[in-house]
Structure 1
Amino acid sequence: MSRGGGRPAAVPPPGTRLRPRTGADGLTVRFVPEDPSDDPFEFDFGRLPLSPLLQRTFAAAFAERTRPGAGLRSWEAAQNAFEDLRTFARVLSRSPRPPLAAAHLVPAHLEEWVLERGGAERASRATGQLKLTLKRIEGLDAAFLAKLTERTARRVRAETRNYSLSELKRITAAARRDIRAAALRIRSNRDLLEQWRHGRIDADADSQAFRRGRLLDHVDRHGDVPRYPGGRRAPMRWAGDLGTVHDHMTALHLGLADTAAFVVLLIAMTGENASTVMRAPAAHFRADGYAGGPATAIVGLDKRRRAANRYRDAALVDLPSWIPLPDKITEVNLDRVPLNSPFAVYSLMVELGAPARTALSTGRLVVWWSPGGGGGAQPPGLREAVDDGHIQTWAARHDLPADQRGTARTRKGPPPQLNVTMSRLRLSQAELNQKPASHTEATLANEYLLRNRGNLDEYRRVVAAALEAEAGKARTRGALQVLTDQDIEQARVDPASVAKRYGLDATRLKELISGELDTVMTGCTDHTGGPHAPAGEPCRASFMLCLSCPCARAAPHHLPFQVLVHDALDERRRSMTPLKWSERFALPFTQLADLLERAGQAPVEHARSTASEDQKKIVQRFLNREMDLR
């Protein structure tokens, strides 16, 4: 039963015997993917160029590596792990004295495999995965086992470049044109099919339309065009007279160009990972309840690499700020299909792919008809998902020139065409919106934007401008009044003069020094007379605003809190984008830096080293916004 209650989990009936994952000969391993839509697959280790003993040894290690809960959940991950073992076996077979048992493996074998893969840095990821499998082998030599436990060289991530705003607009405009054409084509053919099925097309009046309706009916029912019986199964002549097989199948189903355009637009709008989009379901929940408000589809997404946090619900409703709103258009206007929001693109893809999902018995969003694989490797038929090769094929059919950057402006001839990939589309969305999608803000800053070189100079200028603007606010606003240690000493004998110096009365001064007025980093001398609330009403603003409030005063006992908050804001630079950090924290950080400079280095270091655990907890609660009045 789940932790949150509910019905008990289904269990096998009594007497059920689980099918063994390893064959009786120990040379085959059966892998069952976590996704029920993926078929089980058997990996044959008898084909590896190894001794029978090593074949069974590798098979046992692979079986342990792919068992439930071991981390490899998809067919692709298992296939990659097997491919690493296969290439390692090939290296072993070419050795002057090929090893016959696990104890014969030596570090040089692994080093040679790494060199064949392009070196330690290029093979970093594959090396780490291969080591995880080989560690499951029993009876390894101590030197080889030590080699497996060495730290794997960190892979150097290649810098990449996002698309500029103008480039992205060209890409998405081409995708919209293709999608609108697909919607017009499929909707009109479905309308013709419905008229034919209801007997509204007279065969004598328009035999072409009647034959067309008959052909569409066959395609819809059988998932293929009418064919002659026999070995070649050629399309019937009357069907050939009406067009090609591709024309007939894409009359009711999405084709490659249509599906690629949908995927391009979805990723460009949402910033979701390519694998997440490919696994997205067509089933969704309409949060707006069709009540006339903003249309909102709640879609359950799956990002495998996030392990326990892989599942999440995404709301497809908002319009990206960088996409211009089109003229008002309606659903029935086929020439202007609305594609101005992620919801519109998603819901249209759900609609146009419905027949293919029924034929495939799948709930996946991305479905399409393919004329076949390269060189006849795959027969024609309906498919799920597309890859970067499909996206690049789609882009090659359009005129998508790249912007002229730097020295490229002086080159003669036409500008180079854009290389459109799903990863660059996602990077561009992250760059333009500065918001994470299916990842944390730290990942956005350190894994995506840090490697992006597409708009680096412009981004630096924007961040510099934001920092200068916040620093300017700090300079123009009055500096916080801070009591010194000498003021505290004088207040014990002459409180009236000290109070007058800081615009207070003697009672307020006493309360400030004793900590009765504390608001984390300062003390508030008038909580009903500040600028952040109507006169006479209590202030409900964040304590962060106290740094620039005329009602705030600081005393020496506030210094540890100021140091801790200053350090915490500086630490947050690592987990936020520079632009967002500058917009949110540059002003208080500058104000705190000014306070610490006025306090002096020695008192600041003393406050930093002697800060108590209670003070640290208060600052943590403050930065987590647990003290905000809502």
Structure 2
Amino acid sequence: MSGRGRKAVLPPAGHRAEPPLAPDGLVVTVTNKAGFKKEFDFAELPVAGPMQRSLAKAFAAQSRGWTSHKSAGTYWIKVGLFAGFLSGLDSPSDDLDGLTAATMQTWRDNHISTNTGKSTLSLVRTLLQQDPRLAAGPVAEELARRIPQATPSSESYEEAERERVMLTAQRQFRAAWLRIGENTRLLNRWLSGDIAESSREWKLGEILDHTARTGDVPRTLYPSGQREAANRRLLGGRGPQKTWGRLFLTRSELTALAVLLTDRFGWNLSLYDRMPVPTTAPSAGETTSVTYQVQVEKRRAGSGRWFSTENITDSGADSPGRLITQALEATAHARALASSLAPGADLLMVARSYRPEQEHLDLDRPAPVDPLVFGVSDNMGQVWARSNGLGGSPFRRSRRTTVTDEGRPLQHTQGTHESTYVLPDRRVQRASRGVFEDGAHEAHAQALTVVFGGKITDEPDPEHQETATVDCEDEESSPWPATEGGCGADFLLCLACPNAHVHPGHHPRLAHLHQQILSLRSALGDRSFHERWSVHLLRLQDLRDKVGPAAWTAALARVSDTDRTVVQLLVKKDLAP
């Protein structure tokens, strides 16, 4: 099935796909998803003929997975850089099997320090690894070296930045939507005959009818060859908003709509070039809302997984689907005109161009149907931002902001979400500092609960009170006071008390206690042991490390019968504090 649900047409009998590599071994033809072809002539590269053919063969092998000329063009640029590097060597090799590890080390050193260089290294490596002669040996080992991941060059918007961009886009698109809606209502009244003939509104309705059918207002041709809008006084001016813009979005207004859609849904910019008109899904019993089915295209997901459908509901002014409704209303006349000029056209993102299009060079994007253009290009985003004083194109940063705020993958994998969007983003890092700090404090507090909390001394203090495990300096200031006064802690909890003092006389009993608790692990099972004994064991291990393993082990030889009796009572929890 195709992406729109139509049955795929089988090729004629005996059909064979043309190989991408020409018989001369120098020209590679790449066919994009739309069926357009583009040639790449490797005879243009400044390297020897055998090297040209080897690179062309690797390029052709890699091209079988490409669906766009943009991918091919990116690889072509990198191949050109590699060929230029080779031609600049004192003794350039004639073919790939003449490459040396030293040459590839120099190539790596020249590019490893920048993001663009890392991308160049990665793409050229992918091509070179297509050649079986480089599957083993020193050059293969050099190619296999890890290339560090590029540092993301963009980051998500701070809230104030985002609000400025969105407010700019909202003002521009809303003004266009209101303008088109007002003129659409006037046109509908004219078509239904509800306006008095020859009135001002009737004359405007007649002009709007001409505009809807042709994409332009009536114009007067002057002897100089210049065409000017007729009825300028009636229209109120000659600018787009007063003429054909009454029913059509300008490119800038379409870009503003795309900015709002990206902020709302986190869609990729390339999605807008071929986004079909959303369809409506049935809503049982619903009369006040409408649910749109929006087809989302994900080229990088791999063959067979390019398309998914998102259900978006318009249930009121603040609902996500309201923007889809407004987009449909703002593009209605342009879509109707596109359908009449090019039957079958059903793309949502369409605008009216200021002037007839030049030669269509970007064959990955839909061809214009004069005077209409489809989708939003990188250049349109840059021009829009520049004309509104916003710096660079907003799409990458806006998408990154939406993805990180949403906190889940949008049209990408969980790994990409974490490694590309969340972890490297400086805004996310700044926002996480408080969480990390709180976590560190909590971890520190938890660590303190499982270490020996008292003091280690060389000899007993006669003023301290002896307990079953330690000597107590002051039971009245216990962290665990009893209701009737004094200390209410278990004797094992003495090891966590700051009032505790341990001297060498305690070592035999505590070492024996440590040994006995360890023996309980196999008898109780991990869960029961963890719940009852793990904290006490960790404190004893911390105390052992402070005393020293050698002294701790030697103390086991001095364990008395009294020590064994007390430890047995402690382990059985028969010894009251």
- TM class by shorter chain equals 0.5 to 0.7
Q: List aligned pairs for 1:125-274, cutoff 5 A.
A: 125-137=119-131, 145-146=139-140, 149-158=143-152, 160-197=154-191, 204-206=198-200, 210=203, 212-224=204-216, 234-236=226-228, 238=230, 242=235, 243-244=237-238, 246-247=240-241, 248-274=243-269
Q: Give the Cα–Cα distance (whole angstroms) in 2 for the partners of residues 228 and 87 of structure 1.
A: 53
Could you list the runs of 5+ residues in structure 1 that have no partner in the other structure?
A: 320-328, 330-337, 400-416, 474-554, 564-591, 604-630
- CA 1:294 to 1:132, structure 2 compared with 1: closer, same or farther past 3 Å? same
Q: Give the Cα–Cα distance (whole angstroms) in 2 for the partners of residues 32 and 99 of structure 1.
A: 31
Query: How far apart are residue 385 of structure 1 and its match?
Result: 2.7
3-state SS of paired residue (2:405) = helix
Query: How far apart are residue 558 of structure 1 and its match?
Result: 7.4
Cα offsets for 1:394-450 (capped at 9, x unmatched): 344547xxxxxxxxxxxxxxxxx6756222222322443434323455544443222
Q: Give the Cα–Cα distance (whole angstroms) in 1 for the partners of residues 400 and 118 of structure 2.
A: 23
Alignment-derived partner of residue 309 in structure 2: 313
Contact 2:111 2:118 in 1 (8 A): no
Alignment-derived partner of residue 411 in structure 2: 438
Q: Give the Cα–Cα distance (whole angstroms) in 2 for the partners of residues 29 and 229 of structure 1.
A: 48
- CA 1:434 to 1:556, structure 2 compared with 1: closer, same or farther past 3 Å? farther
Asked if residue 59 in structure 1 is aligned to residue 53 in structure 2, the reply is: no
Corresponding residue to 1:283 among 278, 281, 296: 278
Q: Give the Cα–Cα distance (whole angstroms) in 2 for the partners of residues 227 and 112 of structure 1.
A: 64
3-state SS of paired residue (2:293) = strand
Query: How far apart are residue 124 of structure 1 and its match?
Result: 1.7
Query: How far apart are residue 178 of structure 1 and its match?
Result: 2.0
Q: Give the Cα–Cα distance (whole angstroms) in 2 for the partners of residues 237 and 187 of structure 1.
A: 22
Identity over aligned pairs, percent:
26
Contact 1:131 1:148 in 2 (8 A): no
Q: Give the Cα–Cα distance (whole angstroms) in 2 for the partners of residues 216 and 7 of structure 1.
A: 36
Cα offsets for 1:32-53 (capped at 9, x unmatched): 223x3x6332333343334444
Alignment-derived partner of residue 37 in structure 2: 40
3-state SS of paired residue (1:188) = helix
Query: How far apart are residue 279 of structure 1 and its match?
Result: 4.7
Q: Partner amino acid for 1:90?
A: G
Query: How far apart are residue 375 of structure 1 and its match?
Result: 11
Alignment-derived partner of residue 401 in structure 2: 428
Q: Give the Cα–Cα distance (whole angstroms) in 1 for the partners of residues 9 and 59 of structure 2.
A: 29
3-state SS of paired residue (1:383) = strand
Q: List aligned pairs for 1:323-338, cutoff 5 A.
A: 338=317
Contact 2:51 2:96 in 1 (8 A): yes
Alignment-derived partner of residue 12 in structure 1: 11
Contact 2:152 2:420 in 1 (8 A): no
Alignment-derived partner of residue 488 in structure 2: none
Query: How far apart are residue 66 of structure 1 and its match?
Result: 0.9
Q: Give the Cα–Cα distance (whole angstroms) in 2 for the partners of residues 187 and 176 of structure 1.
A: 16
Q: Give the Cα–Cα distance (whole angstroms) in 2 for the partners of residues 421 and 594 of structure 1.
A: 57
Q: Give the Cα–Cα distance (whole angstroms) in 2 for the partners of residues 259 and 98 of structure 1.
A: 51
Asked if residue 449 in structure 1 is aligned to residue 422 in structure 2, the reply is: yes
Alignment-derived partner of residue 611 in structure 1: none
Q: Give the Cα–Cα distance (whole angstroms) in 2 for the partners of residues 218 and 112 of structure 1.
A: 65
Alignment-derived partner of residue 570 in structure 2: none
Q: Partner amino acid for 1:12?
A: P
Asked if residue 80 in structure 1 is aligned to residue 74 in structure 2, the reply is: yes
Asked if residue 460 in structure 1 is aligned to residue 433 in structure 2, the reply is: yes
- CA 1:120 to 1:312, structure 2 compared with 1: closer, same or farther past 3 Å? same
Cα offsets for 1:8-66 (capped at 9, x unmatched): 964323243544433344433222223x3x63323333433344444443332222111
Contact 1:159 1:452 in 2 (8 A): no
Q: Give the Cα–Cα distance (whole angstroms) in 2 for the partners of residues 392 and 184 of structure 1.
A: 25
Q: Give the Cα–Cα distance (whole angstroms) in 1 for the partners of residues 210 and 385 of structure 2.
A: 32
Query: How far apart are residue 231 of structure 1 and its match?
Result: 13
Alignment-derived partner of residue 323 in structure 2: 345
Q: Give the Cα–Cα distance (whole angstroms) in 1 for the partners of residues 216 and 119 of structure 2.
A: 43
Contact 2:385 2:394 in 1 (8 A): no
Query: How far apart are residue 350 of structure 1 and its match?
Result: 2.8
Contact 2:350 2:372 in 1 (8 A): yes
Q: Give the Cα–Cα distance (whole angstroms) in 2 for the partners of residues 108 and 233 of structure 1.
A: 65
Alignment-derived partner of residue 30 in structure 1: 29
TM normalised by structure 2 equals 0.63
Contact 1:284 1:297 in 2 (8 A): yes
* Greater C-alpha radius of gyration: 2
- CA 1:595 to 1:103, structure 2 compared with 1: closer, same or farther past 3 Å? same
Q: Partner amino acid for 1:44?
A: D
Contact 1:275 1:303 in 2 (8 A): no
Query: How far apart are residue 373 of structure 1 and its match?
Result: 10
Query: How far apart are residue 106 of structure 1 and its match?
Result: 4.4
- CA 1:456 to 1:62, structure 2 compared with 1: closer, same or farther past 3 Å? closer
Alignment-derived partner of residue 597 in structure 1: 535
Contact 1:104 1:141 in 2 (8 A): no
Q: Partner amino acid for 2:334?
A: A
3-state SS of paired residue (1:16) = coil
Alignment-derived partner of residue 628 in structure 1: none
- CA 1:439 to 1:468, structure 2 compared with 1: closer, same or farther past 3 Å? farther
Alignment-derived partner of residue 474 in structure 2: none
Q: Give the Cα–Cα distance (whole angstroms) in 2 for the partners of residues 145 and 179 of structure 1.
A: 55
TM normalised by structure 1 equals 0.59
Q: List aligned pairs for 1:88-103, cutoff 5 A.
A: 88-103=82-97
Contact 2:220 2:227 in 1 (8 A): yes
- CA 1:382 to 1:562, structure 2 compared with 1: closer, same or farther past 3 Å? farther
3-state SS of paired residue (2:168) = helix
3-state SS of paired residue (1:173) = helix
Could you list the runs of 5+ residues in structure 2 that have no partner in the other structure?
A: 362-367, 447-520, 542-577
3-state SS of paired residue (1:123) = helix
Q: Give the Cα–Cα distance (whole angstroms) in 1 for the partners of residues 313 and 443 of structure 2.
A: 32
Query: How far apart are residue 343 of structure 1 and its match?
Result: 1.0
- CA 1:295 to 1:374, structure 2 compared with 1: closer, same or farther past 3 Å? closer
Q: Give the Cα–Cα distance (whole angstroms) in 2 for the partners of residues 447 and 260 of structure 1.
A: 25
Contact 1:192 1:213 in 2 (8 A): yes
Q: Give the Cα–Cα distance (whole angstroms) in 2 for the partners of residues 312 and 53 of structure 1.
A: 44
Query: How far apart are residue 104 of structure 1 and its match?
Result: 4.1
- CA 1:443 to 1:52, structure 2 compared with 1: closer, same or farther past 3 Å? closer
Alignment-derived partner of residue 509 in structure 2: none
Corresponding residue to 1:366 among 349, 358, 361: 349
- CA 1:120 to 1:452, structure 2 compared with 1: closer, same or farther past 3 Å? closer
Q: Partner amino acid for 2:394?
A: T
- CA 1:454 to 1:7, structure 2 compared with 1: closer, same or farther past 3 Å? closer
Q: Give the Cα–Cα distance (whole angstroms) in 2 for the partners of residues 290 and 236 of structure 1.
A: 52
Alignment-derived partner of residue 372 in structure 2: 382
Q: Give the Cα–Cα distance (whole angstroms) in 2 for the partners of residues 250 and 366 of structure 1.
A: 15
Q: Give the Cα–Cα distance (whole angstroms) in 2 for the partners of residues 217 and 86 of structure 1.
A: 53
Query: How far apart are residue 267 of structure 1 and its match?
Result: 1.9
- CA 1:136 to 1:557, structure 2 compared with 1: closer, same or farther past 3 Å? same
Query: How far apart are residue 76 of structure 1 and its match?
Result: 1.5
Query: How far apart are residue 181 of structure 1 and its match?
Result: 0.9
Q: Partner amino acid for 1:11?
A: L
Mean alpha-carbon deviation: is it higher for 99-108 or for 447-456? 99-108
Q: Partner amino acid for 2:36?
A: D
Q: Give the Cα–Cα distance (whole angstroms) in 2 for the partners of residues 427 and 51 of structure 1.
A: 44
Cα offsets for 1:368-391 (capped at 9, x unmatched): 234369999989843333245533
